[in-house]
Amino acid sequence: MSDALPYWRLSGFYLFYFALLGATAPFLALYFDHLGFSPARIGELVAIPMLMRCVAPNLWGWLGDRSGQRLRIVRFGAVCTFLSLSLIFVDQSYAWLALVMALHAFFWHAVLPQFEVITLAHLREQSARYSEIRLWGSIGFVLAVVGLGWLFQYLSLGLYPWVLLVIIGGIALSSFWVPNASPGVHSVTAGEGGFLRQLRRPGVLAFYLCVGLMQVSHGPYYTFLSIHLESLGYSRLVIGLLWALGVLAEIVLFLFMARVLARFSLRQVLLASFLLAALRWLLLGNLAEYLSVLLFAQLLHAATFGSFHAAAIHFIQRSFGAGQQGQGQALYASLAGVGGALGALYSGYSWKSLGPGWTFAIASLAALMAAFIIASRLRDAPVNRTH
């Protein structure tokens, strides 16, 4: 890495940010289950932060592009996320928790899209090395799921909100350690004409549709995997380790992602990600009681999140000019939120009536639809590289 690149400062932020995701993805549904909510109510509560991604990232993205004050938005969002989530101690009724989920998500979703733009601005011509910084987010995720899996094996889930506040405090503090940077004209590859004109370029809308479908397919995974595995007899420590295994596979892929993008086109990487996602959901829904199958399915997280996310970030950078990078990243977050919310909602309603097998089969179908769209609508262009 170049001496001018604040590698550890950027990496430290990703570590804390995705540690929060590691604390929520496996354990938030378990916490709501601990409070006595039904699967349908759990699905709704998990969907609320994802629904907030439909609005919040676009608002903050527009503000970031218009003002150029992306780092101030990141810091403001992190502090307000901490303050909002602290309201969870006031009451634990369904209505109050729904309000807390919506409020904290509004500010939390201000953070990552703007920070992605800052990171890519620091990287400049080294954008293919984005994964080497982003992998620290995966490390934070692993530390959270393993540590909390061990913690809640022995202690009550009543401590869960305090753990979340500690991690969010780390996000806020690390945001004040990161220097600012703005994207330059070197990132313009989409031509001029504004965000909507760039959005209408061939393949861009198809890509965003597939972003939504990918997150729909993740609905049962993020909402009910821990509950599903616990019902099959796995302990919370083992469940945490299984979540960590998936992210460790993701970390390994991130280490080699620059080579992958140098050899394969974005279309090929995205297509492979969707096809492997379809396989993964079928395995989790039908054969999770077999540990060997479960281990293999978790290793596929390298594709269903790792290669998909890295390719998506590069696609967005390639598709939008410097003045629209924030909005491009925000739309990615928003459609991921729409898809994730729909996935959480449908899985919440189908989990009890249809069961895990059919619920994950619907997820597999969503991934297959995305694979078809990518295969038929996206141009087979390599990622932009400069040496």
Distance CA 21, CA 8 (A): 20
Is pLDDT of 387 > 60?
Answer: no
What's the mean per-residue pLDDT of the chain? 89
Is pLDDT of 91 > 90?
Answer: yes
For the chain, domain boundaries: 7-377
pLDDT score at 184: 59
Q: 56, 103 in Cβ contact below 8 A?
A: no
pLDDT score at 317: 82
Report the predicted TM-score, pTM, of the whole model to 2 decimal places.
0.78
pLDDT score at 1: 41
pLDDT band at 192 (very low <50, low <70, confident <90, very high): low
251-295: pLDDT as tens digits: 899 888 889 988 999 999 999 999 999 999 999 999 999 999 999
Q: 21, 108 in Cβ contact below 8 A?
A: no
Is pLDDT of 104 > 90?
Answer: yes
Alpha-carbon dihedral angle through residues 344, 345, 349, 351, given to the nearest 10 degrees: -10
22-64: pLDDT as tens digits: 999 889 999 999 999 999 999 999 999 888 877 887 788 788 8
The closest of 171, 15, 168 to 82, measured between CA atoms, is: 168
198-249: pLDDT as tens digits: 787 878 999 999 999 999 999 999 999 999 999 999 998 999 999 999 989 9
CATH architecture of 7-377: Up-down Bundle (1.20)
pLDDT score at 110: 81
pLDDT band at 193 (very low <50, low <70, confident <90, very high): low
pLDDT band at 381 (very low <50, low <70, confident <90, very high): low
pLDDT score at 12: 94
293-321: pLDDT as tens digits: 999 999 999 999 999 998 998 898 888 87
At which residue do the structure tokens 């004409």 appear? 193
pLDDT score at 197: 79
Distance CA 227, CA 16 (A): 25
55-75: pLDDT as tens digits: 887 788 788 888 889 999 999
Q: 55, 109 in Cβ contact below 8 A?
A: no
3-state secondary structure at position 193: coil
The structure tokens listed for 297 are 């399915």
pLDDT score at 321: 77
pLDDT score at 129: 77
- Mean pLDDT value across residues 364-368: 98
| Residue type at position 285 | G
At which residue do the structure tokens 């992605």 appear? 116
- Mean pLDDT value across residues 183-212: 72
Is pLDDT of 329 > 90?
Answer: no
